[in-house]
Amino acid sequence: MKPLRTLIKLYLNSIFRFPVIRHSKDPRERRNAIMGIVAIGIIVTVYGGMAGMTSLQMISAGIDPAVPFLMISAMACVFALAMAFAQGSATLSGFADFDTLMGMPIKTGTVVFARFFALYSVEALYCAAYLLPCGVVYAILCAPAWWFWPAFLVMLLLLPVAPVVIGSGADLLISAAFAGSKYKKGITSAIKMILLLGFIVYAYLLPRLTESFMTAPGKTADMIARIYPPARWFAEGVTGNFPLVLLFVSASAAVCALFVLLLNKTFLPLHDRLSAGYHVKNYRLGTLKRSSAAKALFLIERKRFFNSTAWVINTIFGSILIVVFGIVAAVMSKTLMQFFRQASLERFVPALVTAILIFCATLSPTTCCAISMEGKEIWIAKTLPVPAKLWLRAKLLLNLVLVGPALLITITLLAVFYAGLLSPSAIVGLYLLPVAALLFTTVFGLYINAKLPRLSWKSDTEVVKQSSSVLAMLGVCFGLVAVTVIPMLAIGYPWVSAALAAAVLAASAAVYGTLMKNAEQIRRNL
């Protein structure tokens, strides 16, 4: 049991980085780790508040208490399923210290269970954030039996087991199926992007789902129960049906045991399969292509980006939202224009559209983790016989190429389909301000990453999801939306957007000048 406890502690510390907070003498590393914990705390608080308010509203309205438990547990399971699918293979089977770990006198089953527990523990944290406020609301308003809290806590801990098994198992199967393909990164990224689009649709339909719960709770609850029966077992178990408590606990434990045993039997060949690379048969050296240093650095940066599924999924989300917003707005242009005219909200349209475009375009620039993604290979960039300015410009150009075309196409669609609501000056501002915001977050993201790099990591998920520079840019994104949109709403003159765009462009130029001036020092200090 001691090796198992040690491995679990090691993996949990690598996720939450507690040893760095306690023992690191590098203030930058400690700050990065603390910001990661703060971000998790904010997410947990927001999730818990939303779930608690929803539960309070439903129970106070006289709806059966099992219904909010069913609804919120299903949402938590969907979230856990998606997270496990996004990082299952990387966490369970793909890790850098495989040779060292498997060379130790530790059973394979111990390694498998420890890694599964590390993946499960993160999802259990978010599920607890969803469900604990609901349990408190139910206990206060409904005064359940004495065994409610023990049964509720046990079931709460087991709730993410089945979603984690399904999500990570699907990720492992897909990754193993295409492991020998030349385009395995592109295929797996495309499949996960389809899931991401499904989440966008799910988020769009969520308000309607909540409304249907309030108007016809029984019908909607039956639909969810048929799709995912364990959610019904959980909901009815915590509200008084003790046999369903036993069924849920035993089924979850059985699913966990079977998955760990199966993974234990296939762990080594599965790891070999996932680690296999693509090799061209009968390779012959032909004509070598030559390019300038700037182009070569950009191609290297582009290849690094598309070789990281986590980076692609996390970054491309904003571009997808831009395209989806443009298409939906164009298709529904007549309906939306009629609504704005009837509600006398025409003057708010430029500010609303600008806010959406800025949010989507600046949500997660590639530059906020571009330096960190170099990882332990940063020595290559530091020894390249090229100016550091070219190295940094390649990272800036990548984000502009990925987001810029989608942004310009969407703005053009809006300018064409909403010409009746947007004045010529508003259309000019619609081009200027979002593009200026994109330029600012592109250069400022690289500036932040240069200040807060995270070069020591075992999985790119740590950089993309947990690094402090990424979390800081989320705050910059929301702040930029507020700083640019609030004056448009408060003042309302057509020239305001142009003035704001000029101010943002000036700030972008200042940050860009600082980066270029200190480029060599930035690269040398990494």
pLDDT one-digit tens code per residue, 333-369: 788 778 777 777 777 788 888 888 888 888 888 888 8
Q: Which ranges of 61-160 would DSSP assign to H, the alpha helix?
A: 66-92, 98-102, 108-142, 148-158
Residues of the chain with pLDDT under 70: 1, 15, 28-29, 32, 36, 39, 43, 86, 88-103, 180-187, 189-190, 192-225, 275-289, 466, 492-494
The pLDDT of residue 142: 85
pTM: 0.63
- HEC profile of 138-202: HHHHHCCCCCHHHHHHHHHHHCCHHHHHHHHHHHHHHHHHCCCCCCHHHHHHHHHHHHHHHHHHH
Q: Are 373 and 311 in contact (CB under 8 A)?
A: yes
Q: What's the pLDDT score for residue 507?
A: 92
pLDDT for res 22: 75
Output the six-digit token pair for 306.
């598309």
DSSP codes, 323-349? HHHHHHHHHTHHHHHHHHHHTT-GGGH
